[in-house]
Amino acid sequence: MTSLTTLDWTVVAVYFLLLLGIVIAVVRKQTDTTQYFLAGRNVGFFAIGASIFASNIGSEHIVGLAGQGASTGLAMAHYELHAWVVVLLAWVFVPFYYNSGVFTMPEFLEKRFGPRPRWILSLVSLAAYVLTKVSVTVYAGAIVFSTLLPDTFGTPENAFWIGAIATVVLTGLYTVAGGLKAVLYTDSAQAVVLLFGSLAITWIGLDRLGGWGELQTFASTSVADYALWRPLSDPDFPWLGILIASPIVGIWYWCTDQYIVQRTLAAKDLRTARRGALFGALLKVWPVMFFLVPGLIGAALQSKGLLPIPVSAEGTLVGDQVFPTMVANLLPEGLRGLVVAGLMAALMSSLSSLFNSTATLFTVDVYEKLRPEATERHYVNVGRAATFVVVLLGLAWIPVMPMISQGGLYQYLQSVQGYLAPPITAVFLLGVFNDRINNRGAVWGLSLGFILGMAKLLVQAFFGEGKIENPAFLAAIGDFNFLYYSGVLFLISVLVIIFMSRTAPAPDREKIRGLTISSIDRAAVRASWTRTDVILTAVVLGLVAGLYLYFSFWI
């Protein structure tokens, strides 16, 4: 395996010096909450869209998606073709969020339903960020370090820990200093590096393999393992389960999660917010080609003896090692350093976005409720302290990751999100489209949904085939497909929300004016979009449809 050369390290150093310059340029005058958490609400569409994309495509995507491509082909492509859901964010949800003037998604729930749903969503989101996003992202980044720099710090294990700790601390420092504006503008630079680096590895990998036809030939030798659509008998990714769970998770992640939506709230006006989301959707079209397909290329190269990807004791590829192995073995000097910088950028991009969103949630939705009389500067300092705490919690969770990442980081992440998403998706959809849904329905739906979701996760960790198999009903629950369970949980949440809402009076229409589809100012919304937005939407949806059509029949 090729080590990083002096030129590679020079490229990495220059990149991070540029990143530091961006942070220094925007760090000044961060003295109030609007500046720190929403970048003064004066951000352009390019920075918003690039940040949406870069925040989503972190190291867990680059490492995890390539691993899934090598081991399960295009089964997870459905989650990466969610550009159509980002279009839904732009046209359906952004007008409600932006016009309501909120800082956070829990704050929007309070405006729509009352304080208790806000508290529930805030606390669950904070816990979920630490236990999933921070830990998975950091672990993926540490894998990159241990693969690319196995001997730099003595052993691969030392490289794992040093890489994880250094990157988390550095990311935490610049996020603490700069707030959302630092996150947005560094994300814009990182999005370019991510796309260029992944395009390079795809192009060079295909060239080494012998072209796209060779990749199709390799995939066609095992259609059941690499196809986009799997039969209903498939134990992991049946097509019906994908069709049910993927939109539920997608709407939660892209349309209701603070981690993503906060970028649109920083726009200077509603038109910019929508266009930023649409630009993010355009960027989101490409991860299948640039992050998932390289994993498939890696598996094909390994089958020809052209790439030394590590193999497990069972004889299967260690999927999460595929992409860093390709970087180390295929790329020329200098370009290798740029892609390593891109991988580090991906890690820092996701973490910086997460740290800022967590600080915002804690400060605005928890601390400000307890100390409403504090000054703006005090809230900013509390947000910085909250970010520091999240950094420490993320580091503390790293040792647990090897125990929960078996089967691939990306699949693990989607299964956990499949248990978190259904009640949140149900509450937001019903809250926006149905005036009759009230506080009682939202509280019951969120609470019961979270309990059932976490119960499934707990049972799945300990019970099932190859684990504890008695009592049989717990083992059956543990083995129940996560895609189907996501659909069942969504249906339960919807029914509970509707039923419990009917047991209490309807909300006062004046209090929810502008927060539901029937009461929003339609004239103002219509004035906020132009033909450009419609054309961009058509391009995005056309590209998604084209990719689905092509990959449905490519082998």
Q: Tokens for 443? A: 């509280």
Task: Give the pLDDT confidence of 190-215 residue by residue, as tens digits.
Answer: 667 767 777 888 899 999 999 999 99
Q: What are the beta bridge partners of residue 43? A: 267
Dihedral sign from CA coordinates of 81, 85, 87, 89:
negative
Mean pLDDT value of segment 473-491: 94
Host domain of residue 223: 6-537
Residue from 334, 56, 86 nearest 195 by CA:
56
For 507, left (φ over 0), alpha (ψ -120 to 50), or beta? beta
Q: Tokens for 89? A: 């964010």
Reported as a pLDDT band with limits 50, 70 and 90, residue 39 is: very low
The label of the residue with tokens 């095992």 reads: 222
Q: Report the range out of 309-318, 420-429, 517-526 with the highest average pLDDT.
A: 420-429
Percentage of the residues of the chain whose pLDDT score is greater than 70: 86
Residue 553 placed within a domain: no
pLDDT at 26 over 70: no
Residue 515 placed within a domain: yes
**Residues 175, 177, 178, CA angle at the centre, nearest 5°?**
70
Task: Give the pLDDT confidence of 429-451 residue by residue, as tens digits.
Answer: 999 999 999 999 999 999 999 99
Q: What is the CATH number of the domain that holds 466?
A: 1.20.1730.10
Task: Give the pLDDT confidence of 97-137 residue by residue, as tens digits.
Answer: 988 888 788 889 999 999 999 889 888 887 777 767 776 77
Instruction: Round to whole Å and give the CA distance between 249 and 246.
Output: 5
The label of the residue with tokens 């083992």 reads: 475
Supply the pLDDT for residue 525: 92
**pLDDT, the chain, mean:** 83
Residue 438 placed within a domain: yes
pLDDT at 492 over 60: yes
The label of the residue with tokens 């939660």 reads: 252
Task: Give the chain's domain count.
Answer: 1
Supply the pLDDT for residue 385: 83
Instruction: Name the more confident of 300 and 322.
Output: 300
Q: Tokens for 120? A: 């529930």
Residue 544 placed within a domain: no
Residue 133 placed within a domain: yes
pLDDT at 545 over 50: yes
Residue 551 placed within a domain: no
pLDDT at 404 over 50: no
Percentage of the residues of the chain whose pLDDT score is greater than 90: 38
Residue 547 placed within a domain: no
Q: What is the reported pTM?
A: 0.86
DSSP 238-298: -HHHHHHHHHHHHHIIIII-HHHHHHHHTBSSHHHHHHHHHHHHHHHTSHIIIIIHHHHHH
Q: What are the beta bridge partners of residue 463? A: 468
pLDDT at 279 over 90: yes
Residue 51 placed within a domain: yes
